[in-house]
A and B are shown apart, each in its own frame.
Chain A
Amino acid sequence: MTAATSGADTPSGVDSGRSWGFGGLLRAEWTKLRSVRSTVWSLLLLVVLTLGFTTLFTALTVSQWSKSSVSQQRQIVADPVGMILGAGFQLSQLAICVLGVMVMASEYSTGMIRSSLLAVPKRTPMLWAKCVVFAALVFVVAEVAAIPSFFIGAAILHPKAPVALGDPGVARAIVGAGLYLCVLSLFALAIGALLRHTAAAITGIIGFVLVLSPLAQLLPGSFGEHVHAYLPSEAGHLIAQARQGTNDLLSPWQGFGVFCLWTAVLLAAAAYLLKRRDA
């Protein structure tokens, strides 16, 4: 029987009792991630959209400079890097939202989750390995998009609002853009794990990122301002600005902290339910 001629160590029938090897789980999750098309397409889309929209919006800003209001001009001059990165990532972040949801929800929609949980019956190590691998990949790809997009945007904006890499807060903002998308990817993954259905989870994350923020702005007075400021994506994207804007309640790092907190809570809930629910 050829099954017996195996590469496995001593098929003892009793568990080897060796420690798990989180490294193996990381490798497994990397294989899972790279071997489906949605990963490649989403990340490619992220880079293309970021570069495209950065170019488009900065070029429009420069060409329409004389028509824009003084306060708008002042805001851009005060924080050109925030404008450059925001222009690109505002839309391309949706690719991360969708991919983050898919990474977990597709396990459920295809039935793969059963194989995954048979391999890792303690369950949560699988979730953490997925988080580490996915967040790391998103950070790298986000920086691949953010760095050239800063230089392209800075070059286009230069006549109106000059900015250099060495200016205070600029390097941190560029790294911050990657950090924001990195945590956003985990936020989306957690929602995918909680809702387990791709369509529902994508609706959920789009709601959080795109719908809640304008809704919160409709709330009256300081109450509305606070709700708006503490919304996950609103708080989170501050880290991609060089400095705290005059209208911002939170500093970049405070905002990022709030976003991390949101994500941690959702991930904890996802881990708890993953462990409790029947697969």
Chain B
Amino acid sequence: MIEVRDLTKQYGSTRAVDHLSFAVQEGKVTGFLGPNGAGKSTTMRLILGLDRPDGGTATIGGRPYRELSQPLRVVGALLEARAVHSGRSAYNHLLCLAQSQGLPRRRVDEVIELIGLTQVARKRAGGFSLGMGQRLGIAAALLGDPKVLVLDEPVNGLDPEGIRWIRNLMKRLAAEGRTVLVSSHLMNEMAVTADHLVVIGRGRLIADCPTEEFIERSSHKFVRVKGPDPVGLERAIVGGGGRVGATDGGALAVSGMDAAHIGELAARHGLVLHELAPQLASMEEAFMELTGDSVEYGAQADEPAGPAMAASPAEGR
């Protein structure tokens, strides 16, 4: 289990991570979500002891990373930045890491086969494509058969097949009871991979909840209703138990009631309808809305998203 408590990191005048607290549970894939520059990589570097926090703590199984004596057997990490000597072969890269942890040589052969690097294992890593480099990074992460995995943007540079491979790998690792923390700036990617989401913006926590709940909250459904008598329509809908908000062009944004129900209601009241259209705000847009001004939303992280923000993605259309 990974536990981050009150973590803070300052670079010059920018506060990259700002009193961040969350916990990552074992047995599931936890998505670490935020726009570029939100502080995801910095947080991961702090968890992994590469950077020193200015405040707060990050622990793995109750201990700071720096105190682990054979850390690759406990935590496997894939960093966003390249972390391989370009003149060294993939095999020797993995071999020197294995030796530093007292792992046997055959473990290197195992991960090379597992990750599908057999063809290029003896080639210099500097000549690898982005995708191959990423696979080598993942091989290094799995080397010590760790119980905890920290992966920073693992699908970067992978082709669709590679992306599917990574997704399945992460799900399998979590199903085996491991703790998997994976960062991404793509909401859609996380929606299909992660069981739980930790969402940050400008270094602060925005949400920490199951993925389903986050999607429910941020992809707000409503029905666009338009007619010559909006006042009458609103009265009928509110009377029937729906909620009404305004959209552009004089249409009503109705939530808490589906389109069929609204149509029947209008017929019963003899009201004319010009438009009756169910809408689904795109998850990606809702996510950007949520994280775009994270200072404002950071304070009310646990409140459900208000109707104003649910309606606004429709405005852009």
Contact = CB atoms under 8 A, between A and B. Distances in A.
A106 interface: yes
A6 B85 contact: no
A120 interface: yes
Nearest to A14: B61
7 contacts: A1-B176, A6-B145, A8-B107, A15-B61, A15-B70, A15-B73, A106-B85
A15 B63 contact: yes
Given A2-B114, A11-B147, A38-B87, A31 B99 contact: yes
A2 B115 CA distance: 10
A188 B49 CA distance: 27
B203 to A, nearest CB: 16
A17 B61 CA distance: 13
A64 interface: no
A120 B65 CA distance: 10
B50 interface: yes
B173 A3 contact: yes
Contacts of B61: 13-15
B123 to A, nearest CB: 12
A20 B92 contact: no
A114 B176 contact: no
B83 A114 contact: yes
B81 A111 contact: yes
A114 B107 CA distance: 21
Interface string B143-186: 01111100000000000000000000000110110010000000
Contacts, number: 154
Nearest to A129: B100
A67 interface: no
B89 A25 contact: no
A106 B84 CA distance: 10
B89 A35 contact: yes
B51 interface: yes
Contacts of A19: 69
Interface in A18-34: 18-21, 24-25, 27-29, 31-32
- Which of A5, A106, A111 has the largest count of B CB atoms less than 10 A from its CB? A111
A121 interface: yes
A36 B73 contact: no
Interface of B: 26, 45, 48-52, 61, 63, 65-74, 77, 79, 81-89, 92-93, 95-97, 99-104, 106-107, 110-111, 114, 140, 142, 144-148, 172-173, 175-176, 179
Contacts of B146: 11
Contacts of B111: 3
A117 B103 CA distance: 17
Contacts of B93: 115
B69 A17 contact: yes
B81 A114 contact: yes
Contacts of A3: 111, 114, 142, 145, 172-173, 176
Given A106-B85, A114-B83, A115-B83, A7 B103 contact: yes
Contacts of B148: 13
Nearest to B144: A8
B82 A110 contact: yes
Contacts of B142: 3
A278 interface: yes
Nearest to A24: B102
Nearest to A9: B73
A279 interface: yes
A7 B106 contact: yes
A118 B84 contact: no
Contacts of B92: 31-32, 35
A102 to B, nearest CB: 10
Contacts of B50: 114, 117-118, 278-279
B91 to A, nearest CB: 9
Interface string A137-166: 000000000000000000000000000000
